[in-house]
Every structure is written in C-alpha cells, then in structure tokens.
Amino acid sequence: MVSKSKRVLALVLTAMMASAALAGCGPTEVTQTQNSTAGETTESKAAGDSAESGDGESKASAEAVDIYSDEMIKNVKDKMKEEAAQTDGVISLKVWCSGDDLQFEKKLIKEFEEKYKSDDGSYSFKIKASGAIGEDNAGGKIIESPQDGADVFNFADDQLSTLVEAKAIAQVSDVFQNNLIANNTEDAVGVCSINGTPYAFPKTSDNGYFLYYDKRVFKDDSEVASFDDMIQKANSNKKSVYFNLTNGWYNAGVYFTAGVKIEYKDGKQTTTFDSDEGLAAAKAMCHLAESSDKGFLGTAGSSGDNAAVQKGFKEGTLAAAVIGTWMGPAIKEAIGEENVGAAKLPTILINGEQKQTESFGGYKIVGVNQFSKYQITSQALAYFLTNPESQLKRYNERGLIPTSNEALADEKVKVDPALKAINDQKAYAHAQGKSVSGVFWASNVGGFGGEIVAAKGKIDDAALKKSLKDLDEQINK
Amino acid sequence: MTNSKSSIQGGYAAKKKAVNTLVYVILTVMVIIWIFPILWLIMQSFRGESGISTSYFFPKEWTFDNYKRLFVEVDDAGNVLPLDEMRFPYLRWILNTLLVATLSCVISTLFILMVSYTLSRLRFKSRKTFLNLGLILGMFPGFMSMAATYSIMEIFGLKQQLIALVIVYSAGAGLGYQVAKGFFDTIPRSLDEAAKIDGATRNQIFWRIILPLSKPIIVYTALTTFTGPWADYIFVSYFMKDNSDNYTVALGLYSMLGNQTISEYFTVFCAGAVLIAIPITILFVVMQRFYVAGVTGGAVKG
Amino acid sequence: MNYLDYVQMTKGQRFAYNIKSFFTGIPGAIVKLFVVIGNFLKNVFSFIVTGFKNYGSRFAKGDIGTKLSYVVMGAGNMMHGQIGKGICFLAAEIAYFAFMINFGWSYITKIYATNVQVDENTLVNGVIGKEPPIYQEDSVFGGSKKVINLDTLDNSNKVLLFFVMTVIVCIAFFAIYITNTKSAYATQKTLAEGKKPIGFIAELKMFLDERFHVTLLTLPILLLILFTILPIIFTIFMAFTNYDKEHQPPGNMYWWVGFANFADVFYSNPLKSQTFGKILIWTLVWAVFATFTNYIFGIILALLINKKEIRFKAFWRTMFVITAAVPQFVTLLLMRLILSDDGAVNSLLQGAGLPVIPFLSDATAARITVIVVNMWVGIPYTMLITSGLLMNIPEDLYESARIDGANAFQQFTKITFPYIFFVTTPYLITTFVGNINNFNVIYFLTGGGPSPSSYYQAGQTDLLVTWLYKLTVNSSDFNLASVIGIIVFVVCAAGSLITFNMSKASKNEEEFS
C-alpha cells in the first residue's frame, strides 16, 4: 500500500511539475483541470484515512508515506530550489512562536535546515524565528497584514476559522495532508480542518486548563474534589487556591458549567450570558470571590498568570492553581516534582449544587501564511515542526502534550499526570474553535470577572444582570 | 526700647527659623517620595533572587549578574551566544536607538530651525496659512494615522526599517516650530536690517548671523529630539511589529515584561532601565537650563 | 488705550494691565472664535471667486502666448522669452499627465465601485477597489491549493491610499497650472512695458534671497505632506468606511458607509455611545485634574526650593529632576508593579496585617492613583520651569508690596501667581492638550483597566487616545478608531483656538515693546 501511494504521489508530482512549467507560458486552464482531479483523489484518500486513523497506530495507517525517504526529500528539495529561484537562491522565512518555546523551536529549525540542505548549493535558508507575536494573537496579526506576517506561525486553534474566512491561511499541501491525517488523533485533525479541508498542522493538545496542586497540602485527588473544600483547606494552611476569574479564557468555564451557550458557528458568535444560567454562573463566581484573601485568589495582579502562579508556588502562597501544562516545569521547579499533583478541575457551587467545572480544551497548531512566497518550504517546515518525532522532543523538553498517536504512545508520555488530568477533564472541555472567535476575546468577559473579584463578590443581582446583558451586546452584534 | 526691639527681632528670627526647618522637613519627605521608586529600581537591578517583586527593599543577594545578562547570554551547552541569537539583544537595541536618535535629532533640529526661522523672520504671502495649518495639524493625536503611515513606508520599501522611524520622528518636526519661533521673535530685527544693507542675502543672514546667536534654542531642540526616541513605545511597536532585530530600547525592554518572561527577566529589565537612565539623566541635569529657556519661550534666558 | 498711555505706565501698572486684559478677554475670545471661523469661510469663498474671476480676465486680456499657456503650460513664458521657466512648466504638465494616465486615473475610478460581489451572495455598491480578492487555483506541489497574488490584487487600503495621493498631486498640479497662467500674463505685461523679463538664472538666485522662505520650507513641507497630511486624510476617510475586523484587506474589502460610524459613537449603538460618553467625561476630568494638580503643586514646590533662606537649591532641584529624566515608560511600569494587588506596597501592607488596597483594580482607586502618579511624574517639570520664572520676577514689585504692608500670602496671590500664570499660559495650554492625549501614564500604569462589561474595548481609566490605540491594535476597529481620532482633534482644536485667541488678545504687549 505504501509503495502504491508513493507511486500515485510521484505521478501527481510529475504532473504538477509539468503543469507548473506549462503555467509559465501556457494557459492556466490546463493546470486547473489537473489540479481538480488531483484534489478529488486526495480527498477520497483523506476520507479513507480518517476512518482508519482511529486505531491509533500511525505506522499501520495505509496512506501515510515516509516523508523523509530519499525520494521524497529529493522531490521537496527540487521544489525548494524552484521557490528559491525567485529570490536569488535564498529562502528567507519568518516563524512566529511563543517566546517561551523560541529556543526549542530554533533547535528544530536548525535540524530542518540540515535535513533539506541543498545538495548543489543552489539555495540556502535564512529562517528567522521570533517570539514577539505569541500564539494567542498570531492569527489576528496575520489577518491584519498578511504580507508582514510570518510564513509559518503557531497559534491557538480558535483563530483558525477567522483565518480561513480572511483568506490568510494556506491549505495543507497534498504532500503532507495524508501524513498529517494519519499521524495525529482524529480529534486533532478535526480541529485543524474546516469543512473537511486541513488548513493547519496540530502541534500540542494541551491548550486547556486543569488543576495543579501541591501534594503537601492536598494528599491526593480525593482532596481536590470541590472548590469550596479546597479553599477551606488552603485557608487553614494560610495558602490560596488560584483560579483567574479576571480572564475570559478561564472564567468561561464557569459559564459553561452553568449552562450558558457560547457558540461560534458559520462565522457568527453567539452567547447567552443574559439568562438565568448566566446569572447563576456570575453568582457562583461571586461565591468564590467572597473567599478572596481567605483561601482564594481570583486575579493575576499586574504581572500575568504565569508570573503569579510561579511566584505563588515559589513563595508558598499557593496550594493549587487552575492553569495549563506550560506552567508544569515551573511548578515542578518551585515545589519539587514529587509534590506536584494534577487533576481535573474541582466542582463548583452553582445554584446550591456542586457541579463539575467545565473548561476550554484546545490545541496549539501551526499554519502557513497564504501569502508566503515559499509555500512548499513553509509547509515542509510546518510539517517538520509538528511531526511525531518533534512532538516527542517537545514533550521531553517543554512538557507539552503531543497530538500524534505515535508520540502519545510513548511510555513517558502515557504516565504523565498532566495528560491524565487533561483526559479526565476532556469530557467537560469545550472545543475552543467551535465556541469562540476574536469577538469574544475582544469583549470584556474578563473585565466583568475582574469587577466581581475586586468587589469580593458583593454585587447585587440587578447589577450582575446589567453587566451580563452588556456582555451579550458586545458579543452578539 | 532696645530690649523690646531685640526681643521682637528674636521672635521674628525664631519664627523664621521654625518656618525654614519646616520647609526642610517637607522637602526631605518629598525627595524621599520622589527618589524612592528610583532607588527601588536600582536595588532590583542588583537583586540576585529572581521573581518580580519582593516584600523587602534591600536585595538579600547582591549581584552584577543582571547587568551581565544584558550583554551576555549563555545557551544550555554553556556557549556564549552571538548577538543575533540572543533572546534580548540589549546591545543591539542601544545601537538601534542611538542611530535613530542621532539621525532624527540632526534632521529634526535642522527642520525646526528652518521652519521657525522662516515663520518668525521672513514675511511672505501664505505665512499666516502656514502658521494656522501647523496649529491645526498639531491637534490630531500623533498616532491616529500610524496605520496609514505604515502603508506609505511600505510603498517606499521602508517597512520595519530603522530609517522609517527616523522619517516618522523627523517628518513631523516642522510642526514643532512654536518654541523656536518664540525664541527667534526675541532676536532684534535690526540685526537683519543691518546685514541686508551690507548686501547679505537672506540665505547668508540665516546661516551666518541668526544661527550663531541661537545656541540655547538649538541645544533645547536637539535635547528634546534626541531623547524622544529613547522613550517612544507606540510608534516603534507598531512599525517594527515582529522584527525584533530593529527594536529600540523602549520596546525591547518592554518586551522583557511579557507574561512568559517577566519573572525571569524582571531584574534584568531593571538593570537595562538603569543603564539607559544614567546618560539621559546626566544629559538632562546638565542641560536643564536650556530646557527651561525653551519651554518658557525665552521668558527665562538659558 | 493707545501706545502713549501704555509707555507712560510704570512697570507694575503695565503688568497689572496685561493681567487684567487677559482675564477680561475670556468671553470675548469665545465669541471671537466663531468670528474667526466665519471670517475663514468668507476668505476661502472670496479667494475662490476672485481666483476664477482673475483666471478669466487674464485669458481675455492675454495675447496668443498667454492664451496658449492655458492649454500648453509654459507656452506663454517661452514665447515671452523665458525659455527655462517655460520648459519647467511644460515638463510639469507632461509629468502630470503621464502620472494620471499610467497610475492616478485608475485609482480615481476605483474609489467607488458598484455592484461588487464581496462574497458568494452579496453585491455591494461603493466598495473601495474594483475586484474582490478571489482565490486562484494554482499548482503548488501536487494539488488543489489556492493562492492569491498580492501584487495584482485590488486592495481597499491600497486603492484609498493611492486615491488620496492622486488627489494631492492633482491639487499641487492645479496650483502650478494657475501659477503658469499668472506667470505668462505677468511676462506679457512686462514686455508691454518695454522691459525684459527676468532671466532663468536670476530667478533661481531669488530662492536664496527674496524667495528664501520657499527654499527653507520646501523639504519640511514635502515630508509633512507625505508622512503627516497624507496619512491624516487617509485616516479621516477611514471613518466613513466599514474597515473593521471583518473587512480587512487584502483578504476582504471595505466600503463606504457614510456617517454610520459617527452615529454608532454618538447614539445608535448604545454600548459604543455609552462607552464614548463615559470616556469623554473621564478624559476631560483627567485633563483638568492632571494639569492643575501638577501646576499648583509644582509652583508650590518651586516656591519652597527658591525660598531665600533655603540652602542647597541646586541639590534639591536635581533630586527632583532625576525622576523627570528617567524614561517615563520605565518609571510607570515600575509604579504599576509597585502598586499592583500583589506588588511591593501591598506586600508591605499585608506584612503589617493591613488590608490590601486595590490601587489599580478598583475604578475609583485606579482613577485617583493615575492622577497621583501623574503628579509624581509631572511636578518636577513644573517645578523646573517655574523655578526659572521666579528668579525673573522684578524684585521691586515685592519691595513696593512690602512697603504697602502685604504679607507673604498676599505677595503670592497678588504678584507671584499672576506673573507665573501669565507667562506660563501657553505652557498650560500645551500641557492640557498634552494631558488629553496622555497615552503613557494611562497605558503603562493601568492599561486602561479595570474593564467592566459596560465598556466597549475599554476600561474605566481609558482616555480617548488609549481607547483609540486599543481599537487599532487590539480589536482592529480601524473605522471607529478614526472617528475617535477626529473627535479628539475637535476637542483639542476648539479648546486651543479659544485659548489661543485669548492669549493673542493679551499679547498686544508684544507690539508695544
């Protein structure tokens, strides 16, 4: 099967080369017809893949090819040479990633350059990675001025649909499409696709939050069952439980729990904050905020989440925090690996009832700029940064949970407490891409949480209702 | 008589002394309030313990490391990274800022002198229009049109270039003519007249007679235009976007305080801030009389 | 009052007179503002009318050369013997038409395109740019990838920008054209008087003397037009489009929407208009407080330092000046960290068993905090400036006051303060405008927060300008941002024009001395 698909691919490739050559002088229609047939074949192949990919064994998946076989590498290199020709043999790419990951990603990029080094020196790479634009707003910056944007950029999955609408992100090239589908979990592939077409490469599956706790305060998972109990226990230890209510990404979990609808569908954002459920959620937050300074910490202060959590664990003022894997290494360093526990979120008191707190769950993914001059090089790089091997390296160095079946099957990954926590939380996690878009983040959902925290929950129902109504108005245009 | 007089004087003197003591106390308290944050900044820059804030004033562990880390970064393997590879290349920011500040200082100063001299001492038909136009344009918020300015830079192939910053800082300089014009207004017109009788052209009058007399205002203009780029954040952040090679000091230091890096780099930020504050402070303290002369439009002579 | 009366006054009387005329001038200045605006419109109108009249009469009275120069620029000059100048005019005409044919005209036609299909099922009139960006099928490495070619794309931003550029070129050309007809007629008259028109070299030499102002102003004005005026006009146009998050070029286009954005800000969109109202009020409150607290306390500090018996004046001054010299973003970020809920001050308070003060997280507290911190930032400046002024007050004023039995307080209210106030009025105006536009203090200290849900894209300490910035950078509401920019302009301009006229009324003194 593998060899057959290779042959098909090689065929398609030759056709493409020829058509690309033709496109230079001949009518473009020729190209288009060939393209569309090629598209159809790959689509049917893709459908076959996703059905099979469920078994979790990427090697067994029939349609995956060895991207790094000599033949494939040569094909890609030929194409790179062609792309380099438009800019005097230099392929200059920009990569955006999180500042935290910068050093790590730079290492991967070096490996990539080595792998695709020109055999005859006909082209060279000039790849510049920058941590200035983080994963939280890369999509927006690309849309704003795609011509200034990175060729390859890391971003959170909820930005994908707006990127596609703005025609700013490139489809995943057929060369990598099969492997992408075969390598990664079905869920991850789904997140990276719009209407069945993959637009991005899944990188990590941990863009969500759960509970990290200090085992010296809470013995095990049984003691972190509800916020109320935790807060009480933390307070008696003169410590706090951290849950940042001043940030819409975190406090949305409370709204979800109460049954508020936060949906993003067909380019439209809808929310039902102004409802009984919304009020219940707001009151639940008020309830938590009442314990501010008495075992609960609901704000990051001026320094931001990460700094607040790191400082809190280091100075011993925090006993538990609702945060994600990216803080895992820092927390381990602060209180010692043996003292770090991870669990799904605790329950929260809503309308007098303890309910499992829901959350956002998402992926961090890698996209290629639609306007990049070096489409294939960029795609090859994006694929390289997210292939199973790189994902495993990323886990080992940065503690970020992979999306590839192969990497997830790794012994060390399998037993990671954070992975278990994420999996436990999964049933209560809402996919970010299907829930929210830029309009949501631009609203003052976080600011409202900030009001509640600042007032220590002492806000009357009428004022809460008014605020909830304002929120709806901001979001549902 | 003498007795009572001296007692009155004594009372007066005592009262005066009490008032003066009170003034000293107030001044001391105020200086402490004003200097405290600066001292705190300096203390933080020598702090060995990481993290953003401490509940104590003096560092528990004194170190020069924060200053060292501004210039030297070591990777995991222990190799010293070249400037291009550094996460926060402070030296590059300084050089960038120095370049931008020097160029825009020279160009802006020249422009301001040219425009204000023209509007102050030459009479021509559309002079009033220019005066009003300058006033009106100055009322638009400076960064309101920065998106459009960026597009124009793009047309000229200057986007994300340091030269674009120089242009932005100096292109609008002509609008800042008020202060210098006020100064030129105070130079007697008889000087020009005399020179004209001697057969000098206005070109010669400008370069040979007026400019040599304008030292205070030249220094003031140069000072303000030179220090501007060291503190500007908005334009640099909008113009440089992700091009961290061309960051200036202000944007670079600000980027250290990102959510992900703040706890690791806060003390380094403080060190960087102290280093740029020193020359600017010295410059400012030395040149303060020119500054006063400038702002008050010649009401106080430097 | 005439000149004679004025010069006969003593120094003190002159001073009192100036102060008096300043304050009595205030109501007059407001009235005068409207008169000024009216006069301006009248002047513009008469300028246009007489311009056209002269244009016609020149043609009627002109000889062949002059008449020809109405079509072929420079013809008149050439026929009247000014070859060099004529060639310059002709070259300008050729260059202009080449520019318009190759470049400019297409953008004028694209500024209002009708029936443009902006997505699958919407036709829109008034779109800026003609063709919507459509994916083109392209063969990139094996498949159905679609790409857009940026270079050939009709991008709304590009079209609008080039349109504004073309209009400016047209205006400039029109001015040159009129100059050409005038010049042709002028040389005709010179010839008729039997004189020889001035030579080309001689005319160039005038740029170093009679026309030196042209030489000095050309470069600054060119750059000003290109990098200040052009962007401002472009941005003003944006206020009348729907250039927002969903209509961002090059992926999407935007189109004209008339005054819809202004309506949004003023009344039709409750959330935005309420946000605007609250921010506008806070901006004005802030500007008043920020300006006058700094001003008054700065003067008091200067008085303390400059008190005769106080020693080490330079030391005290320098101590305060140091804080003014450290770059603002550093000190302000530092203040933010010191004052935040988990910052140094609150750590100390907590250590002492006291409750945390929400310096930056509670609306009222945050507003007070920014004003107080702004005092910390601004007082040294005022102190520095007024220190210089205090030494300038003529000592004989105090002498005579003391003889009249005035105490220290009276001396301050009667002499010191009026004098300082008088001299620093322009400074006060610029500070006030500067505070309306004070980005740094707000942005670095509170970031505009706290941000309750009743604010659109803003917080309770946001000023109009920081709101503008957030709308541009965070939420890509470019159209709304430009509306706010225009409003800030109107607020500043109105305020300044009034005070400017006022200070003009009191500046008669300049003409006497």
Domain boundaries, chain C: 64-258, 267-512
For residue A395, the one-letter residue type is: Y
Q: Could you tell me if residue A273 is inside a domain?
A: yes
Structure tokens at C170: 């047209």
Report, as an integer, the average pLDDT of A361-380. Answer: 90
Average pLDDT, chain A: 82
The neighbours of chain B, by the rule of 3 or more Cβ pairs under 8 Å, are A, C
Q: What is the pLDDT of residue A27?
A: 32
- Is residue A20 domain-resident? no
Q: Are residues A233 and A334 in the same domain?
A: yes
- DSSP alpha helix (H) spans, chain B: 2-45, 65-71, 90-121, 127-137, 146-155, 162-171, 178-186, 190-197, 202-204, 211-213, 215-231, 234-240, 249-256, 262-295
The residue in chain A having the minimum alpha-carbon distance to the alpha carbon of residue B53 is A311
- The nearest CA of chain A is from the CA of C451 a distance in Å of 4
Is there a cis peptide before residue C250, judged by omega within 30 degrees of 0? yes
Residue A94 burial (10 A CB sphere; 0-12, 13-18, 19+): buried
Q: Do A314 and B51 touch (CB under 8 A)?
A: yes
Has residue A297 been placed in a domain?
yes
What are the φ and ψ backbone dihedral angles of C122, each rounded to 5 degrees? -130, 125
Mean per-residue pLDDT, B102-131:
89
Angle at which helix B90-121 crosses helix B249-256, to 10 degrees, equals 140
Phi and psi at residue C434, to the nearest 5° = -60, -35
Check residue C9 and give its pLDDT.
67
> What is the count of residue pairs from B and C with beta carbons less than 8 Å apart?
248
> How confident is the model at residue A307, as a pLDDT?
82
Across the range B20-37, mean pLDDT stands at 91
Q: How confident is the model at residue A356 (pLDDT cuts 50, 70, 90)?
A: very high
How many other C-beta atoms lie within 10 A of the C-beta of residue A466? 16
Q: Which of A15-19, A92-96, B2-6, C383-387 has the lowest mean pLDDT?
A: A15-19
Average pLDDT, chain B: 85
Is residue A26 domain-resident? no
Encoding tokens for residue A379? Answer: 């795609």
Mean pLDDT across chain C, nearest whole number?
84
Q: Could you tell me the pLDDT band of residue B81, with boundaries at 50, 70 and 90?
A: confident
Q: CA C475 → CA A143, A163, A164, A262, A439, distances in Å? A: 12, 15, 18, 20, 8
Determine, for residues B260 and A99 on separate chains, whether the beta-carbon distance falls below 8 Å.
yes
Q: Inform me whether the pLDDT recorded for C135 exceeds 70.
A: no
> What is the pLDDT averaged over residues A339-362?
91
**Mean pLDDT (whole number) for C15-33:** 69
Mutating which of C119, C120, C131, C144 best tests the A interface, going by the most A Cβ atoms within 10 A?
C144
Query: Which of these, C220, C201, C200, C192, lies nearest to C86 by C-alpha position?
Result: C200
Pair (A331, A386) in one structural domain: no
Q: Are C467 and B172 in contact (CB under 8 A)?
A: no
A308 and A454 housed in the same domain: yes
Q: Is the pLDDT of residue C362 over 90?
A: no
A84 near A91, Cβ under 8 Å?
A: yes
Instruction: Say yes or no: A302 and A388 in one domain.
Output: no
Highest mean pLDDT among A46-60, B44-58, C266-280: C266-280
pLDDT tens-digit series, residues A73-100: 888 898 888 888 888 889 999 999 988 8
Does C251 contact A167 at a Cβ distance shorter than 8 Å? yes
Residue B19 has pLDDT above 90, yes or no: no
- pLDDT-derived band at C355 (thresholds 50, 70, 90) equals confident
Architecture of domain C267-512: Orthogonal Bundle (1.10)
**Same structural domain, A133 and A251:** no
Report DSSP letters for C431-444, one per residue.
HHHHHHT-HHHHHH
Asked if residue A48 has pLDDT above 70, the reply is no
Q: Distance (Å, rounded) from C-alpha B29 to C-alpha B33? A: 6
Least reliable range by pLDDT among B293-297, C190-194, C317-321: B293-297
Task: Provide the pLDDT for residue C501.
Answer: 64
Q: For A415, which DSSP code?
A: T
A278 shares its domain with A389: no
Name all chains with 3 or more CB-CB pairs below 8 Å to chain C.
Answer: A, B
Domains observed in chain B: 2-71 (no CATH), 83-295 (1.10.3720.10)
Domain count, chain A: 2
pLDDT at B287: 81
Determine the Cα–Cα distance for residues B269 and B263; give it in Å rounded to an integer.
Answer: 10
**Domain of residue A448, CATH code:** 3.40.190.10
Asked if pLDDT for residue B302 goes beyond 70, the answer is no
Give the per-residue pLDDT at A33. 33
ipTM of the complex: 0.86
Q: Which domain holds residue A92?
A: 70-206+363-409
Q: Look at A446-450, B136-140, C3-7, C182-186 and tell me which has the smallest mean pLDDT.
A: C3-7
Confidence grade of residue B10 (pLDDT, cut at 50, 70, 90): low
**pLDDT tens per residue, range C393-405:** 777 888 888 888 8
What per-residue confidence (pLDDT) applies to C138? 54
Residue A36: the pLDDT is 36
Q: What percent of chain A has pLDDT over 70?
A: 86
Q: What does the pLDDT average to over C304-320?
A: 86
Can you tell me the distance from the alpha carbon of C124 to that of C121, in angstroms, rounded to the nearest whole number? 10
CB A318, CB A300: distance < 8 Å? no
A337/A441 same-domain check: yes
The predicted-structure confidence for C483-492, as pLDDT tens digits, reads as follows 999 999 888 8
Which is it for the CA torsion C208, C209, C211, C213, positive or negative? positive
Of the pLDDT bands very low, low, confident and very high (cuts 50, 70, 90), residue C1 is: low
**In this prediction, what percent of chain C has a pLDDT beyond 70?**
88
For residue B51, the chain A residue with the least C-alpha distance is: A311
- Is A336 inside any structural domain? yes
pLDDT of res. C99: 95
> Where is pLDDT greater, at A61 or A430?
A430
Condensed to tens digits (0 to 9), the pLDDT of residues A1-11 reads 444 444 444 44
**pTM of the full predicted structure?**
0.84
d(CA C265, CA C150): 34
Residue A18 — very low, low, confident or very high, per pLDDT cuts 50/70/90?
Answer: very low
Mean pLDDT of C376-389: 86
- Examine the domain organization and report whether A334 and A460 are in the same domain: yes
User: Which residues of chain B make contact with A315, given a CB cutoff of 8 A?
Assistant: 51
Residues A333 and A299 reside in one and the same domain: yes
Please give, rounded to a whole number of angstroms, the shortest distance from the CA of A103 to a CA of chain B.
Answer: 8
Residues A135, A184 within the same domain:
yes
Q: Which residues of B touch C387 (CB under 8 A)?
A: 292
Q: Which residues pair with A341 in a beta bridge?
A: A213
Whether A118 is in a domain gets the answer yes
Q: Which of A165, A303, A443 sits opposite C340 (nearest CB)?
A: A303
pLDDT at A39: 36
| pLDDT tens digits along C69-124 | 999 999 989 988 888 999 999 999 999 999 999 989 988 988 888 888 777 777 88
Average pLDDT over residues A277-281: 93
For residues A179-189, b (16+ Cβ closer than 10 Å) or e, as one string?
bbbbbbbbebb
Considering only CB atoms, which chain B residues are within 8 Å of C437? Answer: 141-142
More confident residue, A265 or A279: A279
Structure tokens at C413: 């209210």
Dig out the tokens for A253 from the structure.
């979990």
Same domain, A437 and A404: no
Sort out which chain C residues have CB atoms less than 8 A from B289's CB and list them: 388
Rounded Cα distance between B270 and C176, Å, is: 56
**Tokens found for residue C505:** 């009324």
In a domain, A265, yes or no: yes
Residue A117 lies in a domain: yes
Amino acid at the residue C89: F
pLDDT at B297: 58
* Cα–Cα dist A153/A139, whole Å: 8
Distance CA A300, CA A306 (A): 8
Q: Which residues of B touch A101 (CB under 8 A)?
A: none
CA dist A445 and A278 (Å) reads 12
Task: Give the integer Cα–Cα distance in Å for A162 and A436.
Answer: 10
* A116 or A67, higher pLDDT: A116
Residue of B144, B289, B300 lying closest to C482 (CB–CB):
B144
Q: What is the pLDDT of residue A71?
A: 86
Contacts of C197 by beta carbon, 8 Å cutoff, 6+ apart: C80, C81, C82, C187, C190, C191
Cβ contacts of B259 on chain A, cutoff 8 Å? 303-307
The mean pLDDT of C119-138, rounded to a whole number, is 72
Q: Quick one: pLDDT at residue C10?
A: 66
Query: d(Cα A149, Cα A137) in Å, to the nearest integer?
Result: 12
CB atoms within 10 A of CB B231: 18
Q: Name the residue among C212, C228, C482 with its Cβ closest to that of B122.
A: C212
Residues A376 and A80: beta-carbon distance below 8 Å: yes
User: pLDDT tens, B153-188?
Assistant: 988 888 889 999 999 999 888 888 877 887 888 888
SS3 label, residue A444 = coil
Q: Which of A14-23, B29-38, C475-484 shows the lowest mean pLDDT across its residues? A: A14-23
